[in-house]
Amino acid sequence: MNLALFDLDNTLLTGDSDFEWAQFLISKGVVDRELQEAKNIQFYEQYKAGTLDIHEFLAFQLAPLARHGRAELDAWHAEYMARHIRPIIGEAARALVRQHLANGDLCAIVTATNTFVTGPIAGEFGIPHLIGTIPAVDVASGQFTGAPAGTPAFREGKIGRVDAWLEERGLWWGSFAESWFYSDSHNDLPLLEKVSTPVAVDADETLRRHCLAHGWQQLSLR
């Protein structure tokens, strides 16, 4: 058995699901456009530079979930999928996932984006497992709290989360003849260096240089 792991934003998607969710909320009048867009630019520049404080980012991105009921959020998400996500899923990305699934590989999306946003996206690809940042839920009300639960799936945190996920299944890295991780970002270098076959997908400049220096495979899904 082999293992295939996929980053989501700007990898399987030709865009960023967190950004698109924010744009959707802006279009609904749920969040302030000027503030949201300014913070998105700030966080994105930090992400590109490798200096993003994931906890500061999550505090901002998860806050809207805490202000609305789950039924309303779920209804919004269905609209968001139709308007913002399906248009940025290319056939090449779908074909890559289908090939790994057809080969019988154990497949998972591993993303820093929260699982409320990304759960239905994993389903759209037919990927059975999602390792994402988990939004905390108030047990009594069932509402999101606006904080993350556990370790965010970001940078080295992705390795810890994948380790735990494998352990739950009685597996470890040595259980697989081959393992892949597909990502666009240098922020994913820790997990890319963990697998037997790292693959850069439409890589950022830092990751592209790393690939050239280490002979890693590169491809485009756009």
- Per-domain residue ranges for the chain? 3-219
Residue 133: per-residue pLDDT: 96
Give me the helix-helix angle, 33-49 and 17-27, nearest 10°.
170
Predicted local distance difference test score (pLDDT) of residue 167: 98
Q: Is 186 exposed, middle or buried (0-12, 13-18, 19+ CB in 10 A)?
A: buried
Query: Low-confidence residues of the chain, pLDDT below 70?
Result: none
**What pLDDT is stored for residue 166 in this prediction?**
98
pLDDT of 40: 83
- pLDDT value at residue 118: 98
Return the SS3 of 201. strand
Domain 3-219 listed as CATH 3.40.50.1000: yes
Taking the C-alpha atoms of residue 132 and residue 117, their distance in angstroms, rounded to an integer, is 10
Question: What is this structure's pTM?
Answer: 0.95
pLDDT for 44 equals: 84
Q: Pairing state of beta strands 144-149 and 129-137? A: antiparallel
What pLDDT score was predicted for residue 37?
Answer: 86
At residue 81, what is the residue type? M
Say if residue 107 is exposed, middle or buried (CB neighbours under 10 Å; 0-12, 13-18, 19+).
buried
Q: Which token pair is 189?
A: 């270098």
The residues annotated with a catalytic role in the active site are 7, 9
Residue type, 183: S
Average pLDDT over the chain, rounded to an integer: 96
pLDDT attached to residue 29: 93
